[in-house]
Amino acid sequence: MTREILWLTLTVILTGVLWIPYILDRIMVRGVMGAMANPSRNDKPQSAWAQRLYFAHSNAVENLVVFAALVLILDTQGHSTMSTAIACAVYFWARLAHVIVYVLGVPVLRTLAFAVGFLAQVALALAVFGKL
């Protein structure tokens, strides 16, 4: 397993478990049956942090598509360098930071964490074309 695939695996696991806390909040707010019911406009709103986590999770899923594709393209090319490994590690830590600051409601840091993750994706895209 390359370092890039390892970081992709960790990112997939992180993204895959982000729903758990906000579903637990949903159960606490609406009860088990309310959490399992179909969504309704009349539903009792979840805690503010859980709503932010929901949006952070959605954002993580959307960006995972790009990150995973880039890592898999590089893997198919057999392109693994210290730069690509660092870009993958930076992406993972930026996504983790993004979730944490989003849940805490810190807007500027949230945007900076997102931007760092995006720049890591740019580095991977450059590597795909042999520019890194």
Q: What is the CATH number of the domain that holds 32?
A: 1.20.120.550
What pLDDT digit, counting tens, does each position of 40-85 carry? Answer: 999 999 999 999 999 999 999 999 999 999 999 999 999 999 999 9
Residue 90 · residue 116 · CB < 8 Å: yes
CA gap 78, 34 in Å, rounded: 49
What pLDDT digit, counting tens, does each position of 102-119 carry? Answer: 999 999 999 999 999 999
Q: For the chain, where are the alpha helices, taking DSSP H only? A: 3-17, 19-36, 48-77, 82-104, 107-128
What pLDDT digit, counting tens, does each position of 30-43 carry? Answer: 999 999 999 899 99
User: Could you list the residue range(s) of the whole structural domain that residue 64 is in?
Assistant: 3-128
Across the chain, mean pLDDT equals 97
The whole model's pTM is what? Answer: 0.95
Residue 132 clears pLDDT 90, i.e. is over it: no
What letter does residue 43 receive in the DSSP assignment? S
The number of domains in the chain is: 1
Nearest alpha-carbon partner for 120 in 92, 101, 80: 92
CA gap 98, 16 in Å, rounded: 15
